[in-house]
A and B are shown apart, each in its own frame.
Chain A
Amino acid sequence: MKNTLILFLFLFAGNCFAQQPFVLRDDVLPDITSVNTRLFDKDGLWGYINGGADLYLEYGFEQVTVFDIKAGGIDYKADVYRMASPEAAFGIFSISRFKCQESARITPDDCLTPYQYIAAKGNFYFSISNSSGSPEAQVHLLAIAGNLLEQIENLSIEKPSLFNYEMLGPHLSGLKYISGQLGMQNGFVRWEPLFQQSKNYTAWIMPVKQDGSIFYVALVDFSDSADMETFMQKNGLTASNGLNQVVGNKIYTLFIKQNNRLVLTEGVIPESLRDYLEKF
């Protein structure tokens, strides 16, 4: 392939709304034999990933650009999902990230495994995979990713400052962002029963493993006070700030904040964290 592949796919980078031609360099991989490009918008996602579409739609999906690349006898696929917000892009990334061999390789929120590289940057979620899993193919994943990511303005997502607390900071790589039932089912099954009757919420959830035990810290925003009250009522929780509440065989602690915001923990949390969450 001699010519640079200039694909006139106008992607809106982050929030800047500047149209940019999306370019895949012809030398991004050696021995490229073919590149096929497809574009699916909100209504077309069903045709592309069938039942998997619902999860993206729940987070807020706008468009996906798909590159099918053949190079050196190996199939590569790069999916660039333009989501409705940086949070939505990070949300998909956060529930997809798993057993990363390496993280923060190209951008702060990325994850490399033998068969796949995923990342969130600005409004975009990237999934680049290969059919081989070989070390060579892994290098090629990074090459494709590098080429695609460099074309997007660096609008990294701002995670809630709650999680900057020194005890929580080291666990940021496990932070998940969830905005509905499917996200909860796919990303944090543990709390699926807790949220199964809730709608119109967003939740940042962090598992914290410490000294051989584990607890969970979440920042949950409800759309209105009625939704928040319903959530507490359905789960047998009371508005007792900072006190342990035993429901079934689990211990929860609630810290009610302004604007229909809740800090919720599960498990036994250290006293210093309790103080911090109370004051937050």
Chain B
Amino acid sequence: MSTKDNPSESGRRNFFKLAAAGSLGALMASTPLKKVLAQVQDPEKPATNIADALKIPKTETSMPGKFPGKVVKVFDAQSVVEDKPVKTAAYQMLSDAMLQLTGAATLSEAWLMFVQPHEKIGLKLNPIGGKLLSSSHEVVQSVIEQLLEAGIPKENIVLWDRREFQLHEAGFTADAYPGIAITGTEKKDADGSYYNKEGKLYSEEMIDKDWFYFADVDGEYDDYTLPYMVNAGKYSYFTKILTQDLDKIINIPILKNAGSSITLCLKNLGYGVITNTGRLHAKLWGDTSAEVCCFPPVRDKVVLNVVDGLRGCYQGGPGANPQYICNYNTLLVGTDAVAVDRIGYDIVLKKRIEEGIQQEDSPRGRQFMEYAAQLGLGEADIEKIDLVEVIK
């Protein structure tokens, strides 16, 4: 992909120009931005460079995308049999969702609203839960098949996540996906080493230091942990996979809880595309999920979210704790990551209440979505979300 073709280039230049300018100037005239910046300037929170990201003008592909506030929820009780997702059901659920979301006459037409054959398209998966609870092969294969049917060449499809080896562990291998590239920011070689012959982390080659998320929280790691974090300090760098290699992203998280909150679209992106995340969980968990998505490489490239809720969990997430894994038999699709998260939140909450994990909603669980909405990433108000439900 040439520089000219790289949609992030203009954003990158603006980022530096505006970041250097320092003053918020005329931008403060905008009331929503005022509100946002008031939140950013919360003295209780460590400072971040979110204000710089917000200064970069949005593009026509920016989040919340083509269908703000719209979410399609497809439920099929037969989509999981004996705790195993059913491929034919997943394919059909995805088809239904795409047609409902877009209003297109054909499936190909629906997909081509978001991606084009000449573009490199990344499917951002979530393999953290290993074989037990990762983005399912049935849903991922369905997305790939429908992209191929829409005329996207196989060589333009990339499966990716932070950790390449976790993709492999979850079964996303070259053998299982012939002709599809599989990659990650954090890599090991065939001998299991994170370091090349020069003693440099392979992952260092994968990060783009022109794009960074600054937060005034120091990350310090020992030699063992560093390969998982790539760098220490107060900067988190974006992966080149996102900033340079890919044109469009289809985000495929899995329906999981994180305490009384959730880890879906925003979290899969926020923590999945940058380095040095260990430092962010304690003080900036929700903020990071929202703020990282405001940076153009994420904001302008993520065109679709497909939440794999065939199987998911309602407690013990984001790891895979088997006793809490359940069959939601659900697929959520939308361009608005915040709205999709908000619908997913209610599904997980309902299950948690049914199972006696909690008795009522805990508003703190929704805070990061509300913050993301304030940042202009999408709709968090349940009353304003256009939810289309398909029950098969």
| A→B interface (CB under 8 Å) | 40-41, 43-44, 46-47, 49-54, 75, 96, 98-99, 113-116, 127, 129-131, 133, 182, 185-186, 189-190, 192-193, 196
12 A/B residue pairs, CB under 8 Å, sorted by A: A44-B222, A46-B228, A54-B281, A54-B282, A113-B323, A116-B322, A189-B260, A189-B357, A190-B359, A190-B360, A192-B364, A196-B364
**Residues of B112-156 whose CB lies within 8 A of A:** 128, 131-132
Chain A residues with Cβ below 8 Å from B360 are 190
Count B-side interface residues using an 8 Å CB cutoff: 35
Extra 8 A-B pairs, beta carbons < 8 Å, given A98-B324, A190-B359: A43-B221, A44-B224, A47-B225, A51-B318, A96-B321, A115-B323, A116-B323, A185-B260
**Residues of B82-99 whose CB lies within 8 A of A:** 83
- Write the chain A residue with the least CB distance to B224: A44
The distance in angstroms between the C-alpha atoms of A98 and B318, with both chains bound, is 17
The distance in angstroms between the C-alpha atoms of A113 and B227, with both chains bound, is 35
The prevalent SS among residues of B at the interface is loop
- Write the chain A residue with the least CB distance to B131: A131
| Chain B CB within 10 Å, residue with most, of A54, A114, A182, A186 | A186
Asked if A182 contacts B259 (CB within 8 A), the reply is yes
CB distance from B365 to the nearest CB of A (A): 8
Chain A residues with Cβ below 8 Å from B315 are 98, 186
- Write the chain A residue with the least CB distance to B317: A52
Residue in B128, B222, B324 whose CB lies within 8 Å of A43: B222
Chain B residues with Cβ below 8 Å from A46 are 221, 225, 228-229, 278
Asked if A50 contacts B259 (CB within 8 A), the reply is no
**Residues of B346-392 whose CB lies within 8 A of A:** 352, 355, 357-360, 362, 364
| A193-B364 CB under 8 A given contacts A75-B131, A96-B316 | yes
Chain A residues with Cβ below 8 Å from B319 are 49-50, 52
CB distance from A146 to the nearest CB of B (A): 19
- Write the chain A residue with the least CB distance to B258: A51
The distance in angstroms between the C-alpha atoms of A75 and B83, with both chains bound, is 16
| Chain B CB within 10 Å, residue with most, of A53, A54, A98 | A98
- Write the chain A residue with the least CB distance to B186: A47
Asked if B358 contacts A43 (CB within 8 A), the reply is no
Residue in B131, B221, B362 whose CB lies within 8 Å of A193: B362
The distance in angstroms between the C-alpha atoms of A40 and B228, with both chains bound, is 13
Q: Does B238 contact A (CB under 8 A)?
A: no
Chain B residues with Cβ below 8 Å from A75 are 131
Asked if A47 contacts B281 (CB within 8 A), the reply is no
Asked if A47 contacts B357 (CB within 8 A), the reply is no
**Residues of B265-291 whose CB lies within 8 A of A:** 271, 278, 281-282
The 10 residue pairs across chains A and B that have the minimum distance between CB atoms? A115-B322, A185-B259, A43-B222, A189-B358, A47-B228, A44-B224, A113-B323, A52-B319, A189-B260, A116-B322
Chain B residues with Cβ below 8 Å from A114 are 322
Chain A residues with Cβ below 8 Å from B259 are 182, 185-186, 189
Chain B residues with Cβ below 8 Å from A99 are 323, 355
CB distance from A24 to the nearest CB of B (A): 21
Chain A residues with Cβ below 8 Å from B228 are 46-47, 50
The distance in angstroms between the C-alpha atoms of A139 and B255, with both chains bound, is 30
- Write the chain A residue with the least CB distance to B260: A189
The distance in angstroms between the C-alpha atoms of A149 and B229, with both chains bound, is 34
- Write the chain B residue with the least CB distance to A130: B322
The distance in angstroms between the C-alpha atoms of A52 and B318, with both chains bound, is 7
- Write the chain B residue with the least CB distance to A52: B319
Mask of B291-325 contacts with A, CB within 8 angstroms, 1/0: 00000000000000000000000011011011111
- Write the chain A residue with the least CB distance to B316: A96
The distance in angstroms between the C-alpha atoms of A182 and B228, with both chains bound, is 22
The distance in angstroms between the C-alpha atoms of A54 and B319, with both chains bound, is 12
Chain A residues with Cβ below 8 Å from B221 are 43, 46
CB distance from A171 to the nearest CB of B (A): 14
Chain B residues with Cβ below 8 Å from A131 are 131-132
Chain B residues with Cβ below 8 Å from A190 are 358-360
CB distance from A208 to the nearest CB of B (A): 14
